[in-house]
Amino acid sequence: MTLKTRFAVVAFVVSMALGPAANGQPMNDGEACLEGSGKAVVDEAYCRRALSRRGLADVERAALLVARAGALANLDEVPGALTEITRALVLNPGSAKAYLLRALLIRDVEAKLRDLDRAVALNPYFTDALAHRGAAYLRQGDERAALADFDQALSIRPRSSLALFFKGVLRFKQARYGAAETLFRRVLALAPVQHPIAALWL
């Protein structure tokens, strides 16, 4: 897995976190799997244990599979991650998160864009999917489409560090260095752990 892909997957896993357990009660395996600890080995174990439970609803099992796929990806076990995503989509074809994570893991640009299109179609307010689709457009040289996706993501969530980062990359490519620096500094102020690579652009 490339460094950029690793950062993308880590950002994905962090952005999918559900927040602390209600009322400070201990979490069960499923809750711990979905929330994530930031430690891939621990998260994968929680997810694997949660998935061993019988009687899970399809949507719940699909969510656990996607979470486990994210942990496997962070362990550089990409084939295993893709297998879990495929299983998740069989159970829940409407999982925008599954399409986004698969898009982050596959290399084929056209297939990546198809998955990102599906994620956005399923959830038009999915800012991470919009930001990553914009990044895919940017890699293809379509700056207008990229900017449209970044701006759409930021209109939904103005503090989206992911959209701000990719928009900064776009402005840098356009030689608009002042605008790029402003965007990268905002990214570092909002999410220095998620996007430490932003400092390299300053």
Q: Establish if 186 belongs to a structural domain.
A: yes
Q: Establish if 154 belongs to a structural domain.
A: yes
Q: Establish if 150 belongs to a structural domain.
A: yes
Rounded to two decimals, the pTM is: 0.84
CA contacts within 13 A on the Cβ side of 176: 11
- Quick one: 68 and 139 in the same domain? no
Query: Is the per-residue pLDDT at 3 higher than 90?
Result: no
CA contacts within 13 A on the Cβ side of 128: 17
Over the chain, what is the mean pLDDT?
90
Q: pLDDT tens digits for 9-28?
A: 555 554 444 344 445 566 89
Q: pLDDT tens digits for 76-115?
A: 999 999 999 999 999 999 999 999 999 999 999 999 999 9
Write out the H or E segment, with its range, that includes residue 40: helix 40-51
Query: Is the per-residue pLDDT at 141 higher than 80?
Result: yes
CATH of the domain at 37: 1.25.40
Range of the domain at 145: 124-202
- Of 108, 141, 175, the residue that ends a domain is 108
What is the model's pLDDT at position 22? 46
- Quick one: 66 and 6 in the same domain? yes
